[in-house]
Amino acid sequence: MPHPDHEKNRATWNKQVDLHVYHKEYKTKEVIAGGSSLKQIELDALGDVRGKSLLHLMCQFGLDTLSWARQGARVTGVDISERSVEVAREITQQAGLQAEFVRSDVLDLIGRIDKQFDIVYQSYGTHIWLSDLFQWAKVVAQYLKPGGTFYMIDEHPVNILFLPREEDYPPDYFATEPERTLNPNDYCEQDVHIEGEEHVEWQHPVSKIVNALIEAGLTIERLDEYNYYYYKYGPDWIPYAGHDGFWLPPDGKPATYPLMLAVKARK
């Protein structure tokens, strides 16, 4: 049974795909031309992926998925948005790569793919869209081969307490109710509102992320925190010199609080 709030997000994402696919914040043209959208952190974390099978959860229109394919992995991407999957398949053809894409809510994925993978990967801007981390972790465990690696990198949940926000929700690190935004503005085209739709986001403390993976039977190997960000959070944020694709707060210094979180686990 589809989760009603996930379905609201799916409708919103379907409308946002075409705003994003060739936006300067994304590297679609670079990936098609032979480049990569991957950042050095995840490349270092997973190392040589040649010949390995990789499942990319919540892959959007597949730029990272295809970039892992270019690194030599055999890749499958999953996303809730049918428009994202459609565009991902188009980009795959244009890039001359091989990849499979599956349209599914990640929480409903079990049974829709009938194989396991050496690596399950999830990146940047994803965990806030998950209503149930314990079901998510079961999906991760289901699709990892014994000895396989799970790796996720995303915004740090604690940054809700530090980053300026437009919404009328007081920051609460331990919030249990979702945050709902009607007619949300697009994060790339911030003057554009997705009229008639609703974004629903969930706050997950670090302990919940880690404990969900442990409860699903995974062993945590590393937990890393970073005091810089994966996208230009505001118009006055500054590129981090020597760290391609990452950004610093307006004062040009690494933050005094964590902005990103990475977890590496093994089955």
CA distance 244 to 37: 11
Secondary structure class of 119 (helix, strand, coil): strand
- Mean pLDDT for 112-133 is 97
Whether residue 132 is predicted with pLDDT greater than 90 in this model: the reply is yes
Separation of alpha carbons 37 and 4, rounded Å? 32
Beta-carbon contacts of 90 under 8 Å, excluding residues fewer than 6 positions away, are none
Helices 4-20 and 82-95: crossing angle, nearest 10°? 40
Q: In the prediction, which pLDDT does 186 show?
A: 73
Percent of the chain whose predicted confidence (pLDDT) is above 90: 82
- DSSP classification of residue 160: G
Give the contacts of 244 (CB within 8 A, at least 6 positions apart): 39, 40
Residue 123 exposure: Cα atoms within 13 Å on the Cβ side: 26
- The answer to whether residue 214 scores a pLDDT higher than 80 is yes
β 100-103/247-248 pair status: unpaired
With vertex at residue 265, the alpha carbon angle to CA 10 and CA 145, rounded to the nearest 5 degrees, is 80
* Identity of the highest mean pLDDT range in 14-28, 189-203, 253-267: 253-267
CA 191/CA 246 separation, integer angstroms:
23
Mean pLDDT of the chain: 94
Q: What is the pLDDT of residues 146-189, one digit of tens each?
A: 999 999 999 999 999 999 876 667 899 999 999 998 888 777 77
Query: How many Cβ atoms are within 10 Å of 34's Cβ, its own excluded?
Result: 10
**Which of 82, 84, 76, 60 has the alpha carbon at shortest distance from 120?**
76
The parent domain of residue 141 ranges over 4-266
Q: What is the pLDDT of residue 226?
A: 98
Per-residue pLDDT at 21? 85
Domain count, the chain: 1
Q: Check residue 189 and give its pLDDT.
A: 72
CATH (domain of 59): 3.40.50.150
Which of the residue ranges 10-14, 33-37, 180-184, 218-222 would you say has the lowest mean pLDDT? 180-184
Residue among 100, 70, 103, 65 at smallest CA distance from 84: 103
- Of 222, 227, 220, 266, nearest in space to 248 by CA: 227
pLDDT, tens digit, 9 for 90 and up, residues 82-96? 999 999 999 999 999
- Residue 25: per-residue pLDDT: 81
- Give the pLDDT mean for 26-37: 94
